[in-house]
Structure 1
Amino acid sequence: MTLDTAAANADYGTTASGSSFYAAMRILPRAQRDAMFQIYSFCRQVDDIADSDGPRPERLAALQQWRDDIDALYQGRPPERLKDYVSSVRGFGLKREDFLAIIDGMEMDVPQDIRAPDMATLDLYCDRVASAVGRLSVRVFGLPENDGILLAHHLGRALQLTNILRDIDEDAGLGRLYLPREGLLHAGITSDDPVKVSAERTLPKVCLPLVERAKSHFDQADQIMSRNSRRVVRAPRIMSKYYRAILELLIARGFAAPRAPVRVNKMAKIAILLRYAII
């Protein structure tokens, strides 16, 4: 499926306005905010390619075009859709390899739908689609190099594992199953059919170790943020608290079918913003 030209050129704030990301980024100074919305727009566009129902060869070609465009950006020949990224790349030292890693992660869903990856593959997927985004973001936020990379590692994985646990049924509807093969086998589940797995009685036994893994990554991310300036970590802390709230709602609901959707209510979101956005 070809990307909608209007969407590809949309104002970054408008593109992101329906997401939890938006509130966390609005608190940033203008240059940082613009850079983060550019990163968000890039991620949204390559994700839309991976998630579309177009022919797989066309999606692979569209993702390759993004690789070529990123290469051109870093060679000083930015294509039209990336011309306003130049100042952010230079100003914040954004790395080409992180943009390419995100494309690689999105592409993992394209040749065939992901179904019950082994744990190492799942971790690689989380690194590419989430922690690589974090590695770009922490440069914009201004974290020190070592702590920034560590925060991206842990917070990216925490957020992505939370997404996977939240979206079991939605992903099953797309023919995808991100729960790890080792966990399924340990729970006595041998099928990799997403719909069948989502209805398995022992599914909570698969999910609970991922809950613990996500909590551990959240805790380690919190430790990193606690030793850095509150102002520098405002945006990632808001994202962390918001997603931690989602995880707690999932734990309270449980993972047995049928599973009602969970969402953080408006008052809880406001409370997080008031607590962490104001220094």
Structure 2
Amino acid sequence: MSVETAAANAEDYGTTASGSSFYAAMRILPRAQRDAMFLIYSFCRQVDDIADSHGPRDERLAALQQWRDDIDALYRGNPPPRLKDYVASVKSFGLKREDFLAIVDGMEMDVPQDIRAPDMATLDLYCDRVASAVGRLSVRVFGLPEEDGVLLAHHLGRALQLTNILRDVDEDAGLGRLYLPREMLLHAGITSNDPQRVIAERNLPKVCLPLADRAKKHFEKADDIMKRNSRRAVRAPRIMSKYYRAILDLLIIRGFATPREPVRVGKMQKIGILLRYAFI
């Protein structure tokens, strides 16, 4: 249900590996829905790869603009070759042009310069574009009612993306990026926005734990929305939610002080999530 969440999740295990929660969640869908979701994922992966590449920034900006032009052509009824397979899914599920464009806009936020200690409003906009916009496409495929679908995309997208940020704080710092919000850093007495300096700060847990609490509240609101909707319609997002909530719980148990060992959901726990929410 999120651009970078789905991307990071599939990067961990491979998009076709049986261990991928994204792959597992999508495989339980009927064929037309499954095909649409993998097309959405493919789009997300391609624009994410542009943003994360080491090419010159102006070339990456141009490549993202070409994706915008191609999306516009798709919705004008003249899809370029790389988007011809999207026509049926766009029509069948009412996928919206503005959500595809929002994803590109989100990826572009990292291109002119690396994001470092954004303010809360900018971080929320980033989460909306790279995560909740993917959710808005996805809930249409899953068949949720419009209002609850948009709400679920809002809360679950943010929950997944904040979990990603907390999980990948050291990895992102290695790329020169820092997604922890400026207000929380300053509240913890951290004035630097240099990623390597920030991740070594003794007070970093005072930033990460409140952000984890924010993610938990989004998970809880997403759970409330899924509980009042058809179990069949929310099977896939529920699997993703439970998997990422397990990651968040492991991060909180581990703590955010150095040294920070990577966390990973165990194979049996992943199988348990899949069995409980896909089949039982």
TM-score, normalised via structure 1 length: 0.94
Distance 1:213 1:45 in 2: 29
2:142 maps to 1:141: yes
**CA apart distance, 1:266:** 0.7
Deviations 1:86-134 (A, max 9, x none): 0000000000000000000000000000000000000000000000000
2:178 alignment counterpart: 177
Cα contact 1:15–1:41 (8 A) shared by 2: no
1:35 alignment counterpart: 36
1:22 alignment counterpart: 23
2:15 partner letter:
A
SS of 1:232's equivalent in the other structure is helix
**CA apart distance, 1:15:** 7.0
2:156 maps to 1:159: no
1:83 alignment counterpart: 84
1:248 partner letter:
D
SS of 2:279's equivalent in the other structure is coil
Map 1:45-194 onto structure 2 (within 5 A): 45-194=46-195
Deviations 1:226-250 (A, max 9, x none): 0001011000000000000000000
**CA apart distance, 1:16:** 2.3
2:274 maps to 1:276: no
**Gaps in structure 2 of 5+ consecutive residues:** 1-12
Distance 1:30 1:202 in 2: 49
**Gaps in structure 1 of 5+ consecutive residues:** 1-13
Cα contact 1:16–1:37 (8 A) shared by 2: no
Moved over 3 A (4+): none
Cα contact 2:177–2:195 (8 A) shared by 1: yes
Question: Which segment drifts farther, 19-28 or 124-133?
Answer: 19-28
1:101 partner letter:
A
**CA apart distance, 1:17:** 1.9
2:250 maps to 1:249: yes
Structure number with the bigger relative contact order (C-alpha 8 A, sep ≥ 6) is 2
> How large is the RMSD of aligned CA atoms in angstroms?
1.0
2:16 partner letter:
S
SS of 1:114's equivalent in the other structure is coil
**CA apart distance, 1:257:** 1.0
Distance 2:216 2:50 in 1: 31
TM-score, normalised via structure 2 length: 0.94
**CA apart distance, 1:20:** 2.7
Distance 2:208 2:139 in 1: 29
